Amino acid sequence: MNTFGTLFRLTTFGESHGAAIGGVVDGCPAGIALDLDFIKAELDRRRPGQSRLTTARKEGDRVEILSGVFEGQTTGQPIGFIVRNENQHSNDYDDLRDVFRPSHADYTYYMKYGVRDHRGGGRSSARETISRVVGGAIAKLCLRQQGIGIKAWTQQVGNIACDRDWSRLDLSLIETNAVRCPDPEVAQQMEDLILQVKGEGDTIGGIIAAVITGCPVGLGEPAFGKLHAQLGAAMLSINAAKGFEYGEGFAGVAQRGSEQNDILTPAGWLSNHSGGIQGGISNGQPIPFRVAFKPVATLLRPQQTIDIHGNVVTIHPRGRHDPCVLPRAVPIVEAMAAMVILDNFLQHTARTSKI
């Protein structure tokens, strides 16, 4: 299933070393000024080679919008786009043609489809997320007009965490460091850890935190369409994601109801333990959530595995890979959240249609 959403829908295609990555945004409202510089800036945040923390691959990642825009404005028609794959070193993968890299999707794709594009992980490569960032950027341009904002940051790398509540952080500092953590001191520690791990040819996981602000009351649907269920599905569909929580999340299970209930007063809510969603529907308060990412599977050290014939082989990866996906996953988390919120905004408009 390569389509996401109900009324605002993103369909994506493309492999890591194929001709292009691309997608179709369907259901974008008409009359939105499509700020290409903004889309480009969002892609740059996801791009490899931004800092010494990320892979040295140089990918221009220039997006070409093919449709759905006329004289700078969206027309309500599907927005097709592509990003050509360039600067590929497909030969880096020749040795891996018949090999199942440990903890990659090689084995499962091969077993499911009987055929796979082995170069750079093919469809399972995180390069697919380029399309999500484009879709998310378009969604952000729509949400901006409603004053809805989405901010994500690297909250934890390995054991180094920035534990303060988001409301006590200066989120304007997120983009001031390579690791995208709003606490400069913690950011420095995270960077040190990533470089150390990189030096060991190893990788490390982490947690991205995010908050949606300005979300109106009423987004989300009963039963299966709860807003946080949609957000969770969106986040868990990102490569390497292993967990999702919102509000007090896992930590909150140890609390009593009397500690967690949010009291409503004539002046508004006294707290936000609910995380901005009650009964699956937004209540107008900020929506904080967190996404856990495992350490990436590609190590720059030898690993043993088997090939498709069942032979034991040792792999020596030569590709250019990130020791930690967190910094580059920040814009992807934002993009997925933006699409979920816009989709639900449109659905909510229909649900409350005056008929």
Q: Determine the Cα–Cα distance for residues 207 and 224; give it in Å rounded to an integer.
A: 26
Report phi then psi at 305, rounded to 5. -160, -165
Q: Measured from the CB atom, is 95 or 248 closer to a copy of itself?
A: 248
Report phi then psi at 256, rounded to 5. -90, 155
The Cα-based distances of 246 to 212, 220, 232, 257 in angstroms read: 11, 15, 9, 17
CB of 119 to a copy of itself, least distance (A): 8
CB of 301 to a copy of itself, least distance (A): 7
Q: Measured from the CB atom, is 169 or 340 closer to a copy of itself?
A: 340
Q: Determine the Cα–Cα distance for residues 323 and 301; give it in Å rounded to an integer.
A: 12
CB of 319 to a copy of itself, least distance (A): 14
Q: Determine the Cα–Cα distance for residues 125 and 296; give it in Å rounded to an integer.
A: 11
Q: What pairing do the DSSP bridges indicate for beta strands 73-74 and 9-13?
A: unpaired
Q: Measured from the CB atom, is 49 or 102 closer to a copy of itself?
A: 102
* Burial class of residue 197 (count of CB atoms within 10 Å of its CB; 0-12, 13-18, 19+): middle
The Cα-based distances of 141 to 42, 54, 65, 85, 268 in angstroms read: 11, 27, 15, 25, 29
Q: Measured from the CB atom, is 170 or 302 closer to a copy of itself?
A: 302
Q: Measured from the CB atom, is 189 or 230 closer to a copy of itself?
A: 230
CB of 314 to a copy of itself, least distance (A): 11
CB of 155 to a copy of itself, least distance (A): 10
Q: Determine the Cα–Cα distance for residues 257 and 159; give it in Å rounded to an integer.
A: 30
Under a CB-based contact definition with an 8 Å cutoff, are residues 344 and 220 in contact? yes
Q: Measured from the CB atom, is 172 or 310 closer to a copy of itself?
A: 310
CB of 188 to a copy of itself, least distance (A): 18
CB of 281 to a copy of itself, least distance (A): 4
Q: Which amino acid is at 308?
A: I
Q: Measured from the CB atom, is 170 or 269 closer to a copy of itself?
A: 269
CB of 117 to a copy of itself, least distance (A): 4
Contacting residues for 258 by C-beta, under 8 A, at least 6 apart: none
3-state secondary structure of 203: coil
- Pseudo-torsion of CA 161, 165, 171, 177, nearest 10°? -10
Q: Determine the Cα–Cα distance for residues 83 and 60; give it in Å rounded to an integer.
A: 9
Q: Measured from the CB atom, is 174 or 219 closer to a copy of itself?
A: 219
